[in-house]
């Protein structure tokens, strides 16, 4: 097992993945996760994408995020080979509704979402309006630093904020979680390092 995989299975990470998967299984809304640099957001996002795809849902991961609306639309158009005879929104809706019913939902995942410019962040509303009937066909997963919360306070993004159905704040591992990680990671690296006993860890972590 890789060190990265051991890290992601430690602490709250697996619970977060399971929670996001569950909410996306019956909701077409927006998921937001913020956290400090180095807390594991990018690794978590990649792991989340794999779990979603393993369940048969379509995904597209932007890591790093698109630098412009044009880059965002071009990437989606190229990935799904969208038709050019109608608008971008209609072409994406046509593509998704042409898929088997259990594959019609698309999840777009954005890392470092707070670094997108105002126009690109605002353009995410277009994807929420790709619908079949009253149901949106596109869910958004936004990962970023605490600056993302400030960016989303812009009045023009109020509609996007209203669609947030799940909001996480990712914190670094606490002492107990770090202890569990070390107990798995050190043998995986082939190292022989004496670790404090569980009792000592518990004492340190009180």
Q: Do 177 and 158 share a structural domain?
A: no
- The proportion of the chain whose per-residue pLDDT surpasses 70, expressed as a percent, equals 78
Q: Do 161 and 185 share a structural domain?
A: no
Is the pLDDT at 205 greater than 50? The verdict is: no
pTM for the predicted model, two decimal places: 0.81
Is the pLDDT at 186 greater than 90? The verdict is: no
* CB proximity list for 16: less than 8 A, separation 6 or greater: 33, 44, 168, 170
Is the pLDDT at 7 greater than 60? The verdict is: no
Q: Which domain holds residue 187?
A: 173-206
Q: Do 100 and 21 share a structural domain?
A: yes
Is the pLDDT at 134 greater than 70? The verdict is: yes
Q: Do 113 and 140 share a structural domain?
A: yes
d(CA 85, CA 131): 19
Is the pLDDT at 89 greater than 80? The verdict is: yes
Is the pLDDT at 60 greater than 90? The verdict is: yes
Band (pLDDT 50/70/90 cuts) for residue 180 is low
Whole-number CA gyration radius for the chain: 19
Band (pLDDT 50/70/90 cuts) for residue 4 is low
């Amino acid at each position: 097992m890789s060190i990265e995989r051991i890290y992601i299975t430690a602490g709250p990470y697996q619970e977060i993945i399971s929670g996001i998967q569950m909410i996306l299984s019956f909701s077409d809304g927006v998921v937001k996760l913020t956290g400090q640099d180095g807390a594991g957001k990018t690794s978590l996002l990649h792991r989340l994408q794999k779990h979603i795809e393993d369940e048969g849902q379509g995904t597209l991961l932007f890591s790093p995020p698109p630098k412009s609306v044009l880059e965002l639309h071009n990437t989606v158009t190229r990935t799904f080979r969208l038709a050019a005879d109608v608008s971008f929104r209609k072409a994406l809706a046509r593509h998704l509704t042409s898929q088997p019913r259990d594959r019609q939902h698309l999840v777009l995942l954005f890392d470092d979402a707070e670094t997108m410019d105002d126009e690109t962040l605002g353009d995410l509303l277009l994807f929420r309006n790709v619908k079949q009937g009253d149901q949106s066909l596109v869910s958004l997963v936004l990962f970023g630093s605490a600056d993302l919360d400030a960016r989303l306070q812009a009045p023009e993004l109020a509609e996007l904020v209203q669609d947030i159905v799940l909001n996480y704040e990712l914190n670094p591992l606490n002492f107990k979680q770090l202890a569990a990680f070390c107990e798995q990671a050190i043998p995986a690296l082939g190292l022989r390092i004496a670790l404090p006993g569980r009792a000592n860890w518990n004492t340190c972590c009180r």
